[in-house]
Amino acid sequence: MFNTKNINLPISKLYEISTTRGEGIFTSTGALRVTTGKYTGRSPNDKFIVKDASNEHEIWWDNNAPISEENFNKLYKKITAYLQNKGEDIFIFEGYAGADQKHTLPVKFVNEFAWQNIFVQQLFLRKHDTNWPSIDKEGFTVLVAPGCKAIPEQDGTNSEAFVVINFAKKIVIIGGTYYAGEMKKSIFSVINYLLPKQNILSMHCSANQGKKGDVALFFGLSGTGKTTLSADPNRNLIGDDEHAWTDDGIFNIEGGCYAKCINLSKENEPQIWDAIKFGTIVENVVLDENRHIDFDSDELTENTRAAYSVHSIPNSIYPGIGNIPTTVVFLTADAFGVLPPVAKLSPEQAMYYFMSGYTSKLAGTERGITEPQATFSACFGSPFLPLHPITYANLLKDKINKHQTSVYLINTGWQGGKYGTGKRISIADTRSIVSAALSGALDSVNYENHNVFNLQIPTSCPGVKSEILNPENTWANKEAYLETAKNLANMFHKNFQKYATNNPELTKFGPHI
C-alpha cells in the first residue's frame, strides 16, 4: 500500500532526518526534544472502537465509545490518501508487542514523522533485537498521521483528533494529534482485548526481578511511583508499564519505557535521569539557552515525558521475560492522608482494590481543584480496557490463588493530614516498605485491622518507624482523621456501585462504614 524505502531505519538516521526537517532539536544530553502542540496527553474523548457483529456483545461499551464501520471507512480512506500523498517521505517500523515469542503480536507502524518512528522503535520490540525466526501470525497495522484531521460533522468524531481501533480488520488509525502516547496505548488496548481470551492476564503495571529470580509487579496510576519504584538499582527491570501473566510467568508487552519526567532528579531517580541521552525522545520539556532540560518546568504541560529503550536501564532484562510473580503491589498516592503506608490484601480484597484502582488528584494540579479529589480507574488502567473489569479481576484472583502470590496496598501519598496540611510519605520509607514486602519480611510480623478500610496493617516494618504504619497515629486531630477516612470510604462505595449489581459479594471486602 505504501511505497517507501524508510523501513526500520537506524535511530541515528531518523535523528538526522528529524532535525533536518525541524521536527525536533538536540538537548545537551543528546536526547531529541519535540513538542506536541495542544495535545500534550491522551485524548480519551477521541478514542473509538469499531462496533460490529463480532464484538457488540463483548466490548465494555460503558467505558468505550463505539464508531460505525461506515465512519471508520471514511476515516481510513482519508488517512491512507493523506499518507500516500507523502510519497516516500513516510516511515515504517515493523516489530512486535510482547516479549514472549509464543504470545507476541506483530505490529507495523506507518508514521508521518521521523521522531514518532523513533518513539515506536524505542517502545516496542525490534526484530533485530529478538533474533526470532519469522513469526507466522497476522498482526496489527497502525497508521499515524498527526496532520490528517477529522471533520466531526462528516466523520462521526468529537473533534479533529481520532484514535480508532478496528479489531476485525486489525487496523488502528490515529490522526489530528501529535501526542506519541496514543500509539503506545492503542496497542495496549488491542492486547487487553486479545490476551484474556487466551486465559492470559494483561496488566497496566511495571515489573522487576530480584537476584534470586523473584518477580514483583507494581500497579498504579500516574504519580504513584510505578516507574520510579520499579527502576531499582538492586533489581533487574523487566518493564515499566505493560505486562502479561501466563501460566509460565510474565512478559513485557513493550521493549521500552515512557517515563513521566516532571520534577525528575538524579538523586531520587538516577536510572531514569541517566536514560535521557542519545536515542531518547523527550516530549514538551522546556530548555534553557544552552539546551539543558528544566525538569521542574510545567510551562508546556505537567505531563512531560521521556521515551527510551529498556536497554538504557542498567541490568534490565530484554526481551522482558520473568518468572511467576511472588509479590504484587498496588500503589496509591492518597492525598487525603488516611490510607496506611502498607496493608496486606487477601485475594478477594485484591479483586476489590484492583477493580477500584484508586489514587487522588492534588489541589492545584487542575483548574478548579481546591481540595484533593479521588480518582478511580478500574484495574489501574480503565481507558485501555475493552472488556469489563471483572474479566481481568477474575484472572488476577485465579493467578494469585494458584501461585500463592502476596498482594500489598502501598500508599505513597500523605500522612498526618491531607495535602496542604500533612506531609508526603518519604521515598526512603516507601522504598523500605517495598523492600520488606518483596523480601518476605512482612510475612512474619504482626498485623492489626483498620476498622474503616478493613485492611490488615503491619505493626512493624524493617527500616520504618512503627508509629507511622497506622495513619491515625500521624494525625494530631483524631476526630478529623476518622471523618476524613469515612468520607474516602464512602467514595470507594459510591464508585463500586457500578460493579456491585453483578458482584455483590465483593463489596464486603472493601471499606466498612
- Annotated catalytic residue within 103, 185, 344, 361: 185
Number of H-type helices and E-type strands within the chain? 12, 30
Distance (Å, rounded) from C-alpha 298 to C-alpha 284? 9
Three-state secondary-structure class, residue 75: helix
Q: Assess whether 226 carries a catalytic annotation.
A: yes
Strands 242-245 and 236-239: unpaired
Q: Assess whether 185 carries a catalytic annotation.
A: yes
- Annotated catalytic residue within 35, 130, 222, 439: 222
Q: What element of type H or E holds 411?
A: strand 406-411
**Shortest CA distance to 205 belongs to which of 229, 187, 181?**
229
**Shortest CA distance to 223 belongs to which of 252, 265, 263, 196?**
263
Q: Assess whether 227 carries a catalytic annotation.
A: yes
**Entry field: residues in the chain:** 513
Q: Do the beta carbons of residue 420 and residue 340 sit within 8 Å?
A: no
- Annotated catalytic residue within 47, 78, 126, 204: 204
Q: Assess whether 42 carries a catalytic annotation.
A: yes
- Annotated catalytic residue within 47, 305, 418, 450: 305
Q: How many CB atoms lie within 10 A of CB 61?
A: 15
Strands 305-309 and 281-283: antiparallel
- Annotated catalytic residue within 100, 232, 241, 429: 241
- Annotated catalytic residue within 36, 40, 202, 227: 227
- Annotated catalytic residue within 47, 226, 235, 418: 226
Q: Assess whether 204 carries a catalytic annotation.
A: yes
Phi, psi of 8 (to 5 degrees): 50, 45
Three-state secondary-structure class, residue 391: helix
Phi, psi of 497 (to 5 degrees): -60, -30
Distance (Å, rounded) from C-alpha 57 to C-alpha 393? 19
Q: What is the DSSP string of 299-360?
A: SS-S--EEEEEGGGSTT--SS-EE--EEEEEEEE--TTS-S-SEEEE-HHHHHHHHHH-EEE
Determine the longest span between alpha carbons in the chain, in angstroms: 69
**Quick one: cell of 445?**
510480623
- Annotated catalytic residue within 42, 126, 149, 243: 42
Distance (Å, rounded) from C-alpha 21 to C-alpha 32? 13
Q: Assess whether 89 carries a catalytic annotation.
A: no
Distance (Å, rounded) from C-alpha 116 to C-alpha 111? 7
Q: Which residues are catalytic?
A: 42, 185, 204, 222, 226-227, 241, 305
